[in-house]
């Protein structure tokens, strides 16, 4: 007896294969909540292992308040016997036949399991989507597709860039930090912090590539691949910016988590100044009323805040780095400047948009926040010069 699954779709596109007649691929975007919970996975011989670093990263992405999962994730590949779409009802009917060795989830099993097991933890007012790539055709060689898809899936961006031997500068910088042993430097390490997160922090402060307010490291939020490419490109050069930035990683982690912890209070200050109630936990991209932890040192916080809000604020403090005689230093302590400019930065960020995805990708916002910090830097520099004269 055939196994048919019916579910709502947000968007459907159809493409017929130019190389093999009779093979059609349907790209379907659907809400996490509409994804059927019992799709067969026997067609994929590599069953999901949810304890690896990659799997944990997927779980975090599912539970995160960020709403761009369907853009950043490769999605789920399904081989089906028949596909039917009823446009006026936005209803997909998926026939997976009665042979689980030939029909079902072919690739993306980790993504599927991460969503099914964790979607109940997503805020009820938050909509997140996943892409299904559904292949239908009588002459499909399922084993060939499975091998090709899963082989490529095993290779992470880090492995593709062959960076495994280029992390010593990071290891040395963080050797005395409490979270040093929890950093995953290789694929499938069962550790809490992917190395990608630390490279992203350094990329955001790459003053060689982003020296002023004319440019902005927006890719730190929106382009993971661009971050890795930049890291790789610097190796073998005489002026490797990441060698200079690596000693500042503990500072960057501290600053990022300071913003993560205090942003809700700064938001409260900003709203109070306007005579309004804060209601911070109701903002799209913010999860509240729970127990959460900072990303690196696992300090307790009350809100889980989208990186779309955090990164344009964090990146503004790039304005405080200066390079002289080939060495980088802080012109002023970023924590002191956060005390002065934090409320303005938060106001500027949330006045721009309350959609974290739009905020994180807004070059204009990144530039405006940079100018706020740079303005404070100039004021402090003037005060310093006046005090020295007196």
- 183 and 287, same domain (yes or no): yes
Q: DSSP assignment, residue 214? A: T
Structural domain total, the chain: 2
- Of 123, 154, 185, the last residue of a domain is 154
- 201 and 341, same domain (yes or no): yes
- 202 and 345, same domain (yes or no): yes
pLDDT at 120: 93
Structure token digits, residue 117: 């097991």
By CB neighbour count within 10 A (0-12 exposed, 13-18 middle, 19+ buried), where does 118 fall? middle
C-alpha 375/C-alpha 382 separation (Å) is 11
Structure token digits, residue 378: 């100039």
pLDDT at 266: 96
Q: 292 - beta bridge partners?
A: 301
DSSP string computed for 3-14:
-EEEEE-SEEEE
C-alpha 317/C-alpha 315 separation (Å) is 5
State the residue range of the domain holding 349: 159-389
pLDDT at 139: 65
- Of 134, 154, 174, the last residue of a domain is 154
Cβ atoms of 158 and 228 closer than 8 Å: yes
- 258 and 166, same domain (yes or no): yes
- Residue 244, SS3? helix
| Helix ranges restricted to H, 103-194 | 109-118, 142-153, 157-160, 168-174
- 35 and 11, same domain (yes or no): yes
Q: 30 - beta bridge partners?
A: 130
- Of 88, 122, 154, the last residue of a domain is 154
- 45 and 192, same domain (yes or no): no
Angle formed by the axes of helices 195-204 and 307-314, nearest 10°: 40
∠ CA 296-189-192, nearest 5°, is 20
- 45 and 24, same domain (yes or no): yes
- 74 and 192, same domain (yes or no): no
- 79 and 184, same domain (yes or no): no
C-alpha 240/C-alpha 36 separation (Å) is 48
Maximum Cα interatomic distance, the chain, rounded to a whole number of Å: 90
pLDDT at 146: 65
pLDDT at 167: 86
Given a cut of 70, the residues of the chain with pLDDT beneath it are 1-2, 44-46, 139-165, 187-188
């Amino acid at each position: 007896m055939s196994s048919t699954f019916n579910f709502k779709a947000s968007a459907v596109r159809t493409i017929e294969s130019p190389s093999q007649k009779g093979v059609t691929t349907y790209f379907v975007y659907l809400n996490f909540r509409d994804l059927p919970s019992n799709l067969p996975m026997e067609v994929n011989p590599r069953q999901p292992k949810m304890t690896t670093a990659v799997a944990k990263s997927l779980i975090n992405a599912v539970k995160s308040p960020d709403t761009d999962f369907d853009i950043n994730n490769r999605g789920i590949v399904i081989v089906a016997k028949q596909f039917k779409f009823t446009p006026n009802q936005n209803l997909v009917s998926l026939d997976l036949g009665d042979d689980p060795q030939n029909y079902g989830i072919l690739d993306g099993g980790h993504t599927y399991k991460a969503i099914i097991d964790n979607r109940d933890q997503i805020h009820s007012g938050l909509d997140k989507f996943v892409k299904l790539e559904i292949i239908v055709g009588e002459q499909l060689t399922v084993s060939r597709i499975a091998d090709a898809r899963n082989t490529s899936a095993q290779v992470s961006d880090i492995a593709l860039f062959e960076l495994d031997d280029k992390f010593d500068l990071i290891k040395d910088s963080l050797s005395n930090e409490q979270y040093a042993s929890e950093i995953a430097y290789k694929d499938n390490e069962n550790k809490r912090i992917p190395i990608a997160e630390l490279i992203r922090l350094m990329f955001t402060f790459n003053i060689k590539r982003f020296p002023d307010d004319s440019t902005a490291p927006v890719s730190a939020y929106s382009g993971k691949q661009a971050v890795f490419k930049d890291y790789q490109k610097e190796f073998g050069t005489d002026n490797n910016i990441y060698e200079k930035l690596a000693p500042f990683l503990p500072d960057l982690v501290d600053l990022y988590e300071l913003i993560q912890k205090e942003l809700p209070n700064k938001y409260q200050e900003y709203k109070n100044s306007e005579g309004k109630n804060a209601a911070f936990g109701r903002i799209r991209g913010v999860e509240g009323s729970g127990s959460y932890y900072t990303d690196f040192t696992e300090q307790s916080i009350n809100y889980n805040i989208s990186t779309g809000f955090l990164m344009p604020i964090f990146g503004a403090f790039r304005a405080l780095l200066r390079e002289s005689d080939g060495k980088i230093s802080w012109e002023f302590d970023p924590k002191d400047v956060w005390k002065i400019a934090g409320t303005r930065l938060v106001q500027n960020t949330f006045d721009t948009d309350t959609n974290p995805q739009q905020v994180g990708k807004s070059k204009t916002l990144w530039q405006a926040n940079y100018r706020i910090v740079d303005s404070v830097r100039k004021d402090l520099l003037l005060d310093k010069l006046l005090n020295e004269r007196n």
